[in-house]
Amino acid sequence: MFFGLFFYFRYPYNFNIRPFFINFAQFFSLHCLLRHLKSPILYLMIFPLKEDMDIPKFAIVVGRQYGAGARRMAAELARRLGAAYYDKELLDEAARRLGYHLSLFSAADERRPSMLRGMWLHGFGMGGGTDALSGETLFQVQADVLRDIAEHGNCVIVGRAADYVLRHHPKLVSIFLHAPAQHRAANIVSRGECDNVTAATEIARRHDRRREEFYNYFTGSHRWGRAHNYDLTLDASHFDADALTDFVMKYLEARGIRPADDNK
C-alpha cells in the first residue's frame, strides 16, 4: 500500500505519460493500492471509462484542381461529420500569429516563395525582421496552425499542402479532386468568376500552376495531384455535388470515420 501511495503522488497518473516504465509503475502501484482497499468506487474514480479516454481525432484533407468543387464538398463533409471546417480560416490564424494584416498575408497563400513578395511583405507588414517574413517561415507558421487544429479536434481542411504537413497524423484521410478542364471551366462560369469558358479555362490553368509550384516546393519528393500521394482521388465530373459527398461519406465510413452522433 505504501509503495502504491508513493508512486501515485510522486508521478500523477496519466495514460499518455512517458517514459513507459513510469506509466507501468503507476499502473502497478495503483493496482496494489486499490487491491488493498478493495473499493470498486475508487476504480471508477481513478481509471477513466472507455468513452472518457482520449480518442484520436480525425483529419480529412482535400487537395483539388481549381473548379473541381472541392470547397463545397469539404464544407458539406464537415457539416455532416460535425467537424470543424478550415480553408481561408487558416490564413486568419497564421496572420494573427505573425502580426500581419490578413490582406497582406493572403498574397502568399498557396504560392511558391519569391524574393519580391518577401520584400513587399517586409515593407508593408507589421512583423519583425527579414527572416520572419520569408516564404518558408510563412509556410511553417501555417503548418504549425494545421498541426494544432488537427491535434485538438476533428477537422476538414482544404489545400495548403495539409496532406503532407499532417502525413504522420494517426487518422489522416487525404483526398484529391480533379476533373476535365471543360467541366471545371463550366463550374467557374456558373460561379460568376467570368462569363466565358475560354477565360475560365485560363483562370483554372493559372491557379493550378500556382498550387502545383507551391506544393512541390515545400513537399520535396511528393508531387501535387499524383494519385499515389493520396488515399482517394476522384474525378468530380462523374458526380453531382450531393452524390460526390455521399460517395466520400461512404468511403470515410469504411475507414471508421462517422458523424459525431454515431460514435456515442
Q: What is the pLDDT of residue 245?
A: 97
Judge residue 171's burial from the number of C-beta atoms within 10 Å of its C-beta, 0-12 exposed, 13-18 middle, 19 or more buried.
middle
- Print burial letters for 111-147: b (CB count within 10 Å at least 16), e (below 16): bbbeeebbeebeeebebeeeebbbbebbbebbbebbb
Q: What is the pLDDT of residue 116?
A: 46
* Nearest by Cα to 157 from 223, 165, 55: 165
Q: What is the pLDDT of residue 132?
A: 39
Q: What is the pLDDT of residue 123?
A: 52
Q: In whole angstroms, give the CA distance from residue 187 to residue 205.
A: 14
- CA 217 to chain centroid, in Å, comes to 19
Q: What is the pLDDT of residue 121?
A: 47
* Nearest by Cα to 45 from 56, 32, 30: 30
Does a cis peptide bond (omega within 30 degrees of 0) precede residue 19? yes
pTM of the model: 0.71
Tens-digit pLDDT string for the chain (264 aa)? 444 444 444 444 443 443 444 344 444 545 555 455 555 444 444 444 444 445 679 999 999 999 999 999 999 999 999 999 998 777 777 777 767 667 666 666 667 766 444 444 445 444 444 433 466 777 888 888 899 999 999 999 999 899 999 999 999 999 999 999 999 999 999 999 999 999 999 999 999 999 999 999 999 888 999 999 999 999 999 999 999 999 999 999 999 999 876 655
Q: What is the pLDDT of residue 261?
A: 64
According to CATH, the topology of domain 59-87+140-263 is Rossmann fold (3.40.50)
Q: In whole angstroms, give the CA distance from residue 178 to residue 204.
A: 11
Question: What's at 242, amino acid-wise?
Answer: D
Question: What's at 103, amino acid-wise?
Answer: S
Q: What is the pLDDT of residue 187?
A: 96
Q: Domain-by-domain residue ranges, the chain?
A: 2-52, 59-87+140-263
Q: What is the pLDDT of residue 11?
A: 45
Q: What is the largest CA-CA distance in the chain?
A: 80
